[in-house]
Chain A
């Protein structure tokens, strides 16, 4: 079944098509949710509510651009909503460390890290760092978009991103040393 056929069948309310669409994207989207939310049950809750929105908003999808990108954007928004409920952002946007105090050693032995290890590294970051890094580095949001989505200034977004990168590099170096 092609993607337009699948979407059309879902619009007709066919359970098999709905199940197929879910099976096709649930795994990828759960990883997206896990990048933002530490607890697995919170990530699954975001996935559940995100898919509910996907099926509800399916009639508004214009089939312009990537369907997966459309779903991913819904999931990211849902994960951010869940994040606001579970881990208030304003607490995490305070400075935990100055950028100049963080190591900037290039990560060299990090290419061998597996996806689960990268997820674990991401989840060790403070919520603000993790969220901005996810949005900028992995989702491709710009700083103005991040500022609007999170209700912060662009400067704060840039600062959080810089700190997140420095902290990740240090953790990667530590992981490479211990590994």
Chain B
């Protein structure tokens, strides 16, 4: 057979013939096409997608990696801002405390001849301060025994004292007892002629002469005592260790059909009643301006403490005096004492 005929034979039989691929090859090709579709789906779907990062990411990148130096400056600025804010708040709180302290004074209704906030031993008081000079002693020196007056009572009216002692022993009731109050005065006892009053705790307080204000207050039992009647009772007061925020701490009243003894202990100075003697009011006036100066100094001192990281005392910053006023009323007599703590 000529070669041309052989070539024509194969060309004629195989030229238009199509061989179908095998099943295995078909499966592999389908998988490849499917994989490509899947990859393309994710590639196109996620290729241009942008997620918005939080702002904090850029701030951290800037502070921690790009510009670390401004971060230190920012910390310093933050510390200074914090210190300024604390100082401002302290001043505000001090002003409020000072304002509330001033507003609270006229309403308490207790007579005192000791100016509020008098520094211990610092302010010489004219006129009737001679009788109350012992008020400048610290609280732990506060006298609870009035021996002189007890002796007077023993001399003048021993029978009255005994009678009061019997009747008052179990009748002490708290007249004003706020829930937040810490009792300072624990008992009020009628004095005996031959016995000394015991201090409420180990702080033995020196004897002092309480001023008498005869006729200033009426007896609580509805019967007025004779003016100028000697005080038949003594007052035993424990020193204040944790004063309560309430101004009036304890007021103990002993009632008796014939005699009334009231002992009131309150925090802060006792404002002068309308009937207070002129000398007492005059004594408070010169003290006011030095206290303002002290308050300003205290503010500056506390600001310095704040800067140096030391504890800050608002009481010291505002200059508010921690005082306790003890007032005893017996019949027509009123004995009051303000103690600077």
Contact = CB atoms under 8 A, between A and B. Distances in A.
Contacts of B53: 26-27, 30, 44, 47
Contacts of A51: 61, 65
A47 B42 CA distance: 21
Interface in B37-96: 37-39, 41-43, 45-54, 57-58, 60-62, 64-67
A105 to B, nearest CB: 9
Contact of B42 (A22, A55, A56, A122): A122
Given A15-B66, A44-B57, A107 B50 contact: no
A81 interface: no
Contacts of A113: 41, 45
Contact of B43 (A27, A28, A34, A137): A137
B46 A138 contact: yes
B304 interface: no
B38 A115 contact: no
Nearest to A162: B35
Contact of B51 (A22, A31, A104, A172): A31
Q: Taking chain B's interface residues, is the majority helix, strand, or loop, or is none over half, making it mixed?
A: helix
A165 B30 CA distance: 14
Interface in A14-38: 15, 18-19, 22, 26-28, 30-31, 34-35
A44 B53 CA distance: 7
A43 B100 CA distance: 56
B7 interface: no
A75 B94 CA distance: 56
24 contacts: A26-B53, A26-B57, A31-B49, A31-B51, A43-B51, A44-B53, A44-B57, A47-B53, A52-B64, A52-B66, A104-B34, A107-B38, A113-B41, A116-B49, A118-B41, A118-B42, A118-B46, A119-B49, A137-B38, A137-B43, A138-B39, A165-B35, A169-B34, A172-B38
Report, nearest first, the 3 A-B pairs whose CB atoms are least far apart: A27-B50, A115-B49, A137-B39
Given A31-B50, A138-B42, 20 more contacts: A18-B66, A26-B58, A27-B50, A27-B51, A30-B50, A30-B53, A31-B51, A34-B51, A35-B46, A44-B54, A47-B53, A47-B57, A107-B38, A113-B41, A115-B45, A137-B38, A137-B42, A138-B43, A138-B46, A168-B38
Interface of A: 15, 18-19, 22, 26-28, 30-31, 34-35, 43-44, 47-48, 51-52, 55-56, 104, 106-107, 110-111, 113-116, 118-119, 122, 133, 136-138, 165, 168-169, 172
